[in-house]
Structure 1
């Protein structure tokens, strides 16, 4: 087989071509690479000359890949990404942290109470939990994110973890004031603790009550919170009734710190997913953590460990 050097065009030209093809712009490619637009144009011209066919259609104020350009763009991007990931894995510290991104509520109520089990099983893996109230991102060095949604995100590969159900909860002391049976029409007369969010996937009191044909009060006497975790803490402290997402509050129910006050429950539209960066190979720590998450999800669905 002939040496690669004689079969491949100059790497500089391929690198410039990959950027121009991905960004669909010589100007944007120049900005990304830190060179002039003229330098990009020249490298593309030299590459096309060495290949013997055009890679772009030069149109008015824009460029389009030719059919052969499309094929080369796909293979070049995949090859360069593979090289970058291999170099990253080779130069990575063997005692590297595993960066895990999740919402504050998922971290506080589901992940942190369980994660010591992973540490006991894999003591060599150091973890860093990145909690945020928005959709957990893939920015920086995040290795794995736990997200709630429909599983379709352009920046990551998603594996289903579990879905959920939602029902009203309160402290045992507050439940004593309600009595044994709580009618939903009576429920709205009590303080309903709510969570202010612009997330359309989140289920609030209006939607939950509407699912059971109950009109939400125009103005609830309940506390309004900026974070879901705050609504649960308010319920724990007897401030009223909150909507409990079963997967998040199950430990508190098991400990009798919260109680479920009605059999009515609403299934969530979406689910929780394990998400890894789209163009990154799964490292062994990521694989181990993902498998541990799935096992814990299965065990919690069964009501605990066998």
Structure 2
């Protein structure tokens, strides 16, 4: 049986083909690689001879991939990207110990940043970079080492492990609670200004879903305060604008500090949970392994406190 290396065409031809198939232009491929267009045409011709099939259809002033060309293009693109990502990881490990973490604005602000100094004190040689955005970055691009996400754990770009589930309940400032009157049941909330935030996340629990869980019909016209982000909603509640929905692990510190208070004993569990996600093709990076160990311990401590 031939070795894998002997079954492959020359690497030069594959490199040229990858550029030409990605750019769909022999001229642009030549400019990118730094050779002549004739050299690109020659390498493609040799590759087609080797494989015994055409990879491109030559059209007027342009080229198009054949079906077999498309298959080889997908394979070479994946293979070259994997090699590039692995080399980038190796260079990063050799040059520095930077670790890039992605999380939502709310999770970063209320949970991660208040605790991340514990990790930094234990591992001062690791330079942390936190990418804060509510849109999930695609881990296949190799720009993020670890992502913390809320959802069902089913993401195609990485391997997910559960951190903790959550509970959602109404919260407000102590000053607002003193002036709001008696609020003992979910139905008592509809006459108060309810603070909400905009989101496209189907897993997110808003006021309509929360109140419906207790068979409370929300009137068409209710006092309220609407924000763009969850962090803004919590700060509005801190400043006495009304009542927001608190997520256990996001408002835990604010409740402990007495800056927010919980209203009623009513709570619901959202449909999703928090997960830590690592890229499917993650290079075995020591900094990422250490961060995952710390994150699991920190999440277990958080769960124990909320259960207690």
TM-score (norm 1): 0.80
- 1:1-306 matches, within 5 Å, as 8-18=8-18, 26=24, 34=32, 43-51=43-51, 53-54=52-53, 63-65=66-68, 74=75, 79-92=79-92, 93-136=94-137, 138=139, 141-178=143-180, 182-303=184-305
- CA 1:90/1:194 → structure 2, altered by over 3 Å: closer, same or farther? closer
- CA 1:262/1:56 → structure 2, altered by over 3 Å: closer, same or farther? farther
- CA 1:241/1:304 → structure 2, altered by over 3 Å: closer, same or farther? closer
Gaps of 5+ in 1: none
1:26 touches 1:40 (CA, 8 Å); kept in 2?
A: no
Offset of residue 193 of structure 1: 0.7
Gaps of 5+ in 2: none
1:192 touches 1:240 (CA, 8 Å); kept in 2?
A: yes
- CA 1:279/1:91 → structure 2, altered by over 3 Å: closer, same or farther? same
2:185 touches 2:266 (CA, 8 Å); kept in 1?
A: no
TM-score (norm 2): 0.80
- CA 1:215/1:73 → structure 2, altered by over 3 Å: closer, same or farther? closer
1:169 touches 1:241 (CA, 8 Å); kept in 2?
A: yes
Distance in 1, Cα, partners of 2:262 & 2:240:
14
Q: Which has the higher helix share?
A: 2
Runs of 4+ in 1 over 6 A off after TM superposition: 1-5, 28-33, 35-41
CA deviations 1:194-234 (Å, max 9, x no partner) are 11223333221112111221112323322211111111111
Offset of residue 2 of structure 1: 9.1
Offset of residue 129 of structure 1: 1.7
Distance in 2, Cα, partners of 1:39 & 1:216:
70
Offset of residue 163 of structure 1: 2.4
